[in-house]
Amino acid sequence: MGRLQDKVAIVTGAALGIGRASARLMAREGAKVVVADLKLDAAESVAAAIRAEGGRASAVHLDAMDRASIEAMIEHTRSTWGALHVLHNNVGGTDVARDTTLTGMDWSCWDGAINLNLTSTVYACRCAIPLMLASGGGAIVNTTSMVALSGDVRPTAYAAAKGGVISFTRFVATQYGRQGIRCNAIAPGLILTERATPRPQAVLDIFERQTLAKRHGEPEDIAYAALFLASDESLFINGQIIEVDGGVHVHNPTTADLVEWAGRASKGGAT
C-alpha cells in the first residue's frame, strides 16, 4: 500500500474497463485520482466507489475529441488537487465493423481513430506537462495496443493511431526525461472488458489458443502495469513499450499449429 501516496493522478476513459481498474487501484495505493470520462455519471460512480473505500477522487467530464474539454480536465485537476504527478492516457477505441482494410474501411473512421486514439493523447500530454513540471515531475502512461506491433487485416486506422502513440511516447520521454518526466506505454493484448466480451466465442477461442497464459487478460492486468510505471519503482524506466498480452507476441506465429501437429504425430495421426 502507499505506492502513490499523496500523488495526483488523472486516468482518462476511467468509467469502465481498464481505466476504471487503473483509477481504483491507484486510489488504493494512495493517489488522489481524477476520474475522467465522456460519461460523467459513470465517472462519478467510480469516484464515489473510490471514496467509499476511503480513497480520494473527483470526477470530470472528458470529451477526448475536444481540445477545450482536455484543457478543462487539466484545470479541474489543478484547481481541485493543486498538482499533477501521473497521467494515464487510456481513452481510445474504434468500430471494428467499419475500421477494416485500407481500401475497404469506411473512410470516416480514419480521422476519428486518429483524433480519439492519437491526437487526444498528444494534446493531453501537451496540456499536462506544464502542471506536471510545476509539481516536480511525474509519470505519463499511454495505452497503445498489440495491433500496433504487427500487421493484421483490421483495424487499420486504429492500429496506425496506436502506432503513433508508440513513437510519440518515445519523443516525450526524450524531450522531458531530463526534466523529471517519464513517459512509457502499455500495449495490451485481448482484455476482457465490456467492449471485448461481445466478441464471438470462436474469436475468443483463437486468442486463447495463441496466448501463453492459460486465460484471457483482465482489466486489472493492465492496471497493475500502469501502477508500476506510475510509481517510483520504475524511476529508471523511460520511453519503453510494455506488452501485457499473455505472451501472444513472444512466440513464433506457427507455434500453436506446430504443437497441435506434434501432438497428433506422437499418436501416429499426422504425416
133-176 pLDDT, tens digit each: 999 999 999 999 999 999 898 899 999 999 999 999 999 999 99
- Quote the mean pLDDT of the chain: 94
Confidence of residue 259 (pLDDT cuts 50, 70, 90): confident
158 has catalytic annotation: yes
CA angle 124, 128, 133 (to 5 degrees): 155
Domain ranges of the chain: 8-200+215-249
Residue with cell 500523488: 7
- The span from the CA of 89 to the CA of 17, in Å, is 14
Instruction: Identify the pLDDT of residue 270.
Output: 57
Helix axes 17-28, 219-230, angle to 10 degrees: 50
Nearest CA to 108 out of 116, 165, 178 is that of 116
Cis before residue 130, ω within 30 degrees of 0? no
Active-site hit among 123, 158, 176, 224: 158
Q: Which distant-in-sequence residues (6+ apart) come within 8 Å of 216 by Cβ?
A: 190, 191, 192, 204, 207, 208, 246
C-alpha distances out from residue 189 to 128, 130, 192, 265, Å:
27, 32, 10, 31
Bridge partners of 186? 143, 242
> What integer pLDDT is reported at residue 142 of this predicted model?
98
Q: Are 4 and 30 in contact (CB under 8 A)?
A: yes
Protein fold of 8-200+215-249: Rossmann fold (3.40.50)
- Tell me the CA distances in angstroms from 27 to 48, 58, 67, 147, one per residue in order: 12, 11, 26, 30
Average pLDDT over residues 33-49: 98
d(CA 98, CA 110): 10
User: Sorting pLDDT into bands at 50, 70 and 90, what band is 42?
Assistant: very high
- Is the pLDDT confidence value at 271 over 80? no
Whether this model's pTM surpasses 0.85 = yes
Q: What percent of the chain has pLDDT over 70?
A: 97
